[in-house]
Structures are given as structure tokens and as C-alpha cells.
């Protein structure tokens, strides 16, 4: 039911919750600026689009489920996030040729490994008791109070995927 799910997500984006994510935004912006300054001092060329993408993914991993993809620190996409980016570009292309969707629908899921990765992240997040609430804590709290283990396993993974993709 859309309205019930919307209510769960609303708690994760209340004014109070958003205020709690502010330090994540600031800390990651500081890290990005520091990384860009260091690369500039070494005379390296930088694709600012890449760093904006690193910033978005790192913010969402931290605000989303208290993890850290560490992309700003590494200065490159992780293999899983690169696979997701490649898949999203592919989906954009295929979306312009509708009959390909039917053909490709018969093929194995190209992001099955990413789905497993997100399931592992959710499992790890459920095992941690975070002192600072993140988006997933709001979503998992609702599940725990309702006692629905089906949602916890399937929808929590879908929620984590949405957090990363929607960034």
C-alpha cells in the first residue's frame, strides 16, 4: 500500500531527521574539497562530475544506512557502484527502444550481484545499533514495531537500493 510506505519514508525525511543528516553533508563536502585541493596541488586533472557522483554516493551511504562507500577517499567508483552506473546508462539507452526491454527481460538479471550487495548492506545495518539515526533506522524501526519479517528482508533491500540509486 503506497500510503503506508509513504508514511514510513516521511519519518526518515522529517525536519528533525534532515537536521541529523546535516553533518554528513558538511563532512563529505569538506572531504571532497580537500581531495580536490590535493589533486590540484599535484597538478592532476580532475573530472568534477566524478567527484560530484562520489559525493552523492558517499552521502547516501552514510545518511541511508550508516555505512560509507568511501568513494571520495579513493577517488574512484567501487566495482559495485560502477556496475550500477553502467546498468543505469544501459537502461537509459534501452528506454528509447521499447522492444528491447521485452527481449532483455528474458536474460539473467544484470545487477544480481548489486542486489546481493545491497542485501548484505541491509543485513549488516540491521546488526548494528547506530547512535545517530539514519534513513534505514527509520524504515527498520517501522518494520520491527509491526513485526513483519517479509518486509524486512525484501522491502528493506529494495529500500536500500532506492536510497543508493535515487541519491
Residue 100 to residue 106: CA distance in whole angstroms: 10
Amino acid 58: pLDDT: 95
**Quick check: pTM over 0.75?**
yes
In 110-135, which positions are buried (b, 16+ CB within 10 angstroms) versus exposed (e)? ebeebeebbbebbeebbeeeeeebbb
User: 129 vs 124, 126, 140, CA distance in Å?
Assistant: 10, 8, 11
Residue 122 to residue 1: CA distance in whole angstroms: 22
Residue 3 to residue 8: CA distance in whole angstroms: 9
Task: Report, as ranges of residue numbers, the positions in the chain whose pLDDT lies below 50.
Answer: none
Amino acid 62: pLDDT: 93
Amino acid 152: pLDDT: 67
Amino acid 161: pLDDT: 86
Amino acid at each position: 500500500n503506497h500510503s503506508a510506505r509513504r508514511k514510513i519514508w516521511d519519518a526518515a525525511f522529517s525536519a528533525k531527521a534532515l537536521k541529523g543528516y546535516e553533518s554528513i553533508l558538511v563532512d563529505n563536502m569538506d572531504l571532497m574539497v580537500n581531495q580536490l585541493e590535493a589533486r590540484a596541488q599535484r597538478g592532476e586533472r580532475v573530472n568534477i562530475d566524478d567527484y560530484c557522483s562520489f559525493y552523492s554516493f558517499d552521502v547516501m551511504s552514510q545518511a541511508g544506512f550508516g555505512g560509507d562507500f568511501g568513494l571520495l577517499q579513493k577517488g574512484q567508483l567501487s566495482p559495485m557502484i560502477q556496475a550500477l552506473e553502467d546498468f543505469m546508462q544501459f537502461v537509459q539507452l534501452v528506454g528509447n527502444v521499447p522492444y528491447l526491454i521485452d527481449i532483455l527481460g528474458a536474460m539473467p538479471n544484470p545487477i544480481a550481484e548489486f542486489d546481493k550487495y545491497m542485501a548484505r548492506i541491509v543485513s549488516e545495518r540491521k546488526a548494528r545499533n547506530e547512535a545517530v539515526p539514519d534513513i534505514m533506522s527509520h524504515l527498520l524501526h517501522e518494520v520491527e514495531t509491526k513485526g513483519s519479517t517479509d518486509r524486512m528482508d525484501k522491502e528493506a533491500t529494495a529500500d536500500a537500493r532506492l536510497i543508493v540509486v535515487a541519491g
